[in-house]
Copies of this chain bind each other. A is one copy, B any other.
Amino acid sequence: MLIIFRFYQKLIHINTALIWLLSIINFFFYGDYDEKFSIQSIAKVFSLTYAYKILGENLWKRVDVEPSGDPFNSLVQLEFENGIPRNPFINAGALVVCDVLMEHLDNPKVEFLDFVKLISNNKNIVYNKEIAESEKTHGYRNAAILNFMKAFGNIKNNVDEVLDFYFNLCSIEMSCKELSETFLLFANGGKLVNSSEEIISTSKTKRINAIMQTCGFYDEAGEFAFKVGLPGKSGVGGGIVAVHPGKYSVAVWSPKLNKKGNSVKGMYSLELLTTKTQMSIF
């Protein structure tokens, strides 16, 4: 497991936290912050950001921003709410976001990767084709969700093509270092830290952070808010990335998951971080 983060440069008073945090790294996790892993659902934050940038508030006609509650009845909720997913981070919502991007991009896979390269300031980000293909052979549940939403008219593209895009998106590999650097965007009001280029507006950035806060951890969003107190997003690959708006971003990775699909050691490390430093949003 490794943990890496980079603070928003202008906030000098975080030095004490940095020292403490580095001591954790030295003790438990030193050395792997450059190892790449499959970011999986964390990529949904990038696709949401891109789609929100393109469509603006019209995006919310296609997907809601509410936490989903229990996992077992997501299909009922889709039915109850006429094919509008609860939020962009449950599978149904992420698939709608993919569909939205496919409607507005000429070459979705290429352009999406270009967008990730831009916000990560990193030209070496690639899809892992092998992982994307292997997911596809077990994608029946996602195909079920897509067909169900298409029955409600909330999917415009071909189901197989949306699935292909979605699995590619989830196959992106990044290291903790790369992830935390990329998520500085959300700690920095939507501007790239190096160039100060605005990717999305401050207002939209705040709203993406709010969605991460309430919906970023499957059925454990409340637990994460309760113990860690930061907006963030986890992936089944064992990665978690979190953001303190205006202050810092942090990424952790440890593959062992708890029953709800979140990294056990990752959650614990972040809980330690915000408890010891008292640097959470609450």
Interface residues of A (CB under 8 A from B): 64-70, 72-73, 75-77, 79-81, 86-87, 138, 140-141, 143-148, 150-151, 159, 202-203, 205-207, 209-211, 213-215, 219-223, 225-227, 229, 231, 245, 275, 278, 280-282
Q: Which 8 A-B pairs have the closest CB atoms?
A: A69-B69, A67-B67, A144-B148, A144-B147, A66-B222, A140-B151, A209-B282, A143-B147
- B282 adjacent to A67 (CB under 8 Å): no
Pick the contact of A222: B141, B148, B214, B282 (CB < 8 A). B214
Instruction: State the copy count for this chain.
Output: 4
Given contacts A65-B222, A66-B219, 14 further A-B contacts (CB under 8 A): A66-B67, A66-B223, A67-B214, A67-B222, A69-B70, A70-B77, A70-B81, A140-B148, A144-B148, A144-B151, A207-B226, A210-B229, A213-B282, A214-B214
Pick the contact of A278: B70, B202, B227 (CB < 8 A). B202
Chain B contacts for A66, CB-based, 8 A: 67, 69, 219-223
Tell me if A's interface is mostly helix, strand, loop or mixed: helix
Asked if A69 meets B68 with Cβ closer than 8 Å, knowing A151-B144, A211-B222, A231-B282, the reply is yes
Pick the contact of A210: B67, B69, B225 (CB < 8 A). B225
A68 to B222, CA, bound (A): 10
A159 to B212, CA, bound (A): 35
| Nearest neighbor of A150 in chain B, beta-carbon distance | B140
| Nearest neighbor of A211 in chain B, beta-carbon distance | B226
